[in-house]
Amino acid sequence: MTPRTAYHALAAAGLLAATEPVLVLGSSAADGPAAPVLPGGHRLRVVHVQPGGNGSAARNSAVLVRPDGYIAWAGDDVADLNQAIEPLFGVQPMAAPMTLPTPFPSGRNRTWSTNGCEESMPTISPASGYLTVLNQFYTDTAEKTDSLIKEMCRIVDAAAYPGWISSSVHRGVEKFGTLNFIQWRGREDLETRYAADEFKHHTVPIFKEITTSVRLMQNEVELAQRHPSLGDVTEISPDRGDYTAVDLLGVAPAEQDELIAAVGAAHEWLVETPGYRSQTVLRGIRARGPSGTEGNLAPLGADNDYIVVYRQWDSREAFDAFRAVPDDQQPAARRATQAVLDRMTTFRQWNTYRVVHTRSASPVAAA
């Protein structure tokens, strides 16, 4: 069963705007299982799809669709389905798991991630309206960075949170640490995730143990600019081979708009720089970090007191050459941009990264 098959099944059942998760099964209603009752009295709505004979049914036995229309899980391994159900309902998996239809080989689960499955890589655009969360972590050893990446990839691969759109894990190059570029439908979905016991009592303690610094930043994409040769969309994927430089620039909230404009204007001279691929400028909304022992988060600075500049280069060599140009050999436009940054920024923190893992939720309607 493909995502398109699941989409048409939901449309036929009038469930495209459902307010609860729906399990689409590749079986007839007569042969398939009934809707299971979960702990707490929750019932998982089930829609049956008769497998076709053209091979399309050989994809998956079942597709679990979130209330916001994104695929939370797809496959034929019931143990994995149980794990996918838990974050959607806030309850433990079923004590007596339902039996999935088994016309297909087992163990062939698909999440339509960007690592070789069905959907395109995450893209960056102001028009999406997504809340972009940048979780920046620093460590003091390569081994701790490895542990951090392992934990982050585990979280990303299990993600089925309402409103979660995509996550892209970056490994620090210049300095030990990681960056997670996460897209959410909106703030309410993110705050629900932060309020969950699993986040407060498992995720936060692990991050505190491994890292020397944690900064969880909520942002809006203001500008997504690219070299003319790269088309009209900014993409994130390990397969692209980008060398990514991320600048965190502090600014007085009253001057945030001016700084965004100045950095955005730099694109005009950056396109003449060898190796430059793209620049994304994000408006900082709020930054927080762990506080206390209960997994709570506390503000870091004031709201709107920073911006983030996310630039992609085609190689480390190109980026290093860009940074190494002496001041007196830089074009006048670049020196003018730097003068504005020197005048307006209250702090600067930067690192370079390689994207190591990315995964997206899949909208069934877009499949």
Q: For 327-348, write each residue's pLDDT tens digit.
A: 999 999 999 999 999 999 999 9
Mark which of 85, 110, 135 sits at the end of a domain.
Answer: 110
- Parts of the chain with a pLDDT under 50: 29-32, 52-58, 92-98, 100-120, 364-367
Contacts of 111 (CB under 8 A, 6+ apart): 71, 73, 74, 117, 157, 359, 362
DSSP at 37: B
Q: How far apart are CA 115 and CA 95, in angstroms?
A: 32
Same domain, 149 and 176: yes
| Domain assignment present for 129 | yes
| Domain assignment present for 7 | yes
Contacts of 36 (CB under 8 A, 6+ apart): 43, 44, 46, 94, 98
Same domain, 198 and 242: yes
Same domain, 180 and 127: yes
Mark which of 86, 110, 134 sits at the end of a domain.
Answer: 110
Same domain, 351 and 308: yes
Residue 47, domain CATH? 3.40.30.120
Same domain, 142 and 196: yes
- Is the CB of residue 131 less than 8 Å from the CB of residue 169? no
pLDDT of residue 45: 73
Same domain, 57 and 166: no
Q: How far apart are CA 194 and CA 106, in angstroms?
A: 34
Burial class (CB in 10 A: 0-12, 13-18, 19+), 217: buried
Same domain, 144 and 98: no
Q: How many domains does the chain have?
A: 2
**What are 32's two structure tokens?**
């398939």
| Domain assignment present for 116 | no
**What are 329's two structure tokens?**
């050999």
| Domain assignment present for 159 | yes
Same domain, 105 and 133: no
- Is the CB of residue 266 less than 8 Å from the CB of residue 334? yes
Same domain, 92 and 228: no
- Is the CB of residue 358 less than 8 Å from the CB of residue 167? yes
Q: Tell me which residue range forms the domain holding 95.
A: 3-110
Same domain, 136 and 13: no
- Is the CB of residue 47 less than 8 Å from the CB of residue 15? yes
Q: How far apart are CA 253 and CA 304, in angstroms?
A: 5
**What are 306's two structure tokens?**
């920073």
pLDDT of residue 37: 53
| Domain assignment present for 266 | yes
pLDDT of residue 21: 73
Within its chain, how far is the Cα of 35 from the centroid?
31
Mark which of 110, 137, 172 sits at the end of a domain.
Answer: 110
Residue 279, domain CATH? 3.30.70.100
pLDDT, tens digit, 9 for 90 and up, residues 101-153: 443 323 323 333 323 233 447 999 999 999 999 999 999 999 999 999 999 99
Q: How far apart are CA 155 and CA 203, in angstroms?
A: 9
| Domain assignment present for 99 | yes
Burial class (CB in 10 A: 0-12, 13-18, 19+), 13: middle
| Domain assignment present for 291 | yes
| Domain assignment present for 115 | no
Same domain, 32 and 157: no
- Is the CB of residue 144 less than 8 Å from the CB of residue 151? no
Same domain, 156 and 102: no
pTM tops 0.75, yes or no:
no
pLDDT of residue 113: 33
Rounded to 5°, the CA angle 122-256-334 comes to 80
Quick one: which of 282, 293, 128 has its CA closest to 219?
282
